Amino acid sequence: MTRIGFHASHEQIEPRALLEAVALAEEIGFTDAMGSDHFAPWSEEQGESAFSFAWMGAALERTSMRIGQVHAPGQRIHPAISAQAIATLEAMNPGRYWVALGSGENLNERITGDPWPPKPVRNARLRECVDVIRAMLAGEEVTHDGLVKVDRARLWTRPETPPPLIATAVTPETAAWAAEWADGLITVNQSDEKLRRVSDAYRDAGGRGDVLVQIHVSWARTEQEALDSAFHEWRTNVFAPPLCWDLDSPRAFAQAAAHVRPDDVRDSVVVTDSADHVVESVGRMLDTGYDGAYIHHVPVEQRPFLEQVAPSILAAFTERAEPAGARA
């Protein structure tokens, strides 16, 4: 069954306006949403980065939607604290919350002052965090001494049923690795070939649950206006791993983007003045092996897109969508 959700970008929109946007998305007909989890934006032009767990509580209270978030435990946030936040959100909103766990980006994690580990170490740390979080959600008292350290951590407030812990992945290698522990997978839009390789890698390795894709869209009255907005907001987000994982500040991303041309963002963003084109693009990406998509409108202003384009997306795909409250 196809799931179509709205993506709330904390790096671009201040939290009160973002809360209004997700409420409007529900009015338009979305039953699902998700949010990012950053300490810093990708660029100074984006200029926002609210604390996602605080916002998530407000968004779940404001709406009746099922809402999830990307989160990177292990360096910036200790996994026991992650487990407590996850448990509280699910206990207050049974069946309406999920979290997608990833190994993080240096942009956000370096604030602790600890060294930024290589990718294999980050994956190993994430795997330890997943085990800690799952054990705590199951009611266990956890002591752990590894890449993360935990001393007799126990959750006193727990949900009746733990929420899904899904994986984030942008490469087939990470997708296959995550299949052994994740309850699902989410990636970001890439070429059709790369998207298919990611979904196939996860499923071929025995991955369970839904496979989802976040799709970046820039829509406006003219294609040039849409391209201008995409370039202004997203030119720092066109870099493939490992560069996007390892740059350490908005200034570093700006320096890396100095030679990015406006048309270069088309590889990462659906740029268009046509609702039909958006629908076609979403359908094409779903056909590469995905059970649902979360739509991120890259320009800061969300209302025109939600009112004029989102209804076409929902009409095209949500006849098969799961109802609000279904599990990830």
What is the Cα–Cα distance from 305 to 74, expressed in whole angstroms? 36
Active-site annotation holder among 38, 71, 78, 297: 38
DSSP 296-321: EE-SS--HHHHHHTHHHHHHHHGGGP
Count of alpha carbons within 13 Å of 127, Cβ hemisphere only? 13
* Residue 307 falls in the annotated catalytic set: no
Intervals of the chain under pLDDT 70: 1, 319-328
pLDDT above 70: percentage of residues in the chain:
97
Residues 6+ apart with CB under 8 A from 27: none
11, 26, 105, 109: the active-site residue: 105
For the chain, the average pLDDT equals 95
Phi, psi of 241 (to 5 degrees): -60, 150
Half-sphere exposure of 277 (CA within 13 A, CB side): 13
What is the chain's percent helix, strand, coil content, to nearest 5? Answer: 45, 15, 40
Instruction: Show the tokens assigned to 317.
Output: 């795909």
pLDDT at 318 (0 to 100): 86
Catalytic site residue 38? yes
Amino acid at 14: E
For residue 215, the cross-strand partners are 295
Q: Give the model's pLDDT for residue 319.
A: 67
pLDDT digits over 22-67, tens only?
999 999 999 999 999 999 999 998 999 999 999 999 999 999 999 9
**pLDDT of the residue at 234:** 96
Residue 324's pLDDT is 37
What distances in angstroms separate CA 70 from CA 90, 102, 320, one per listed residue? 15, 7, 25
pLDDT of residue 327: 41
pTM above 0.75, yes or no: yes
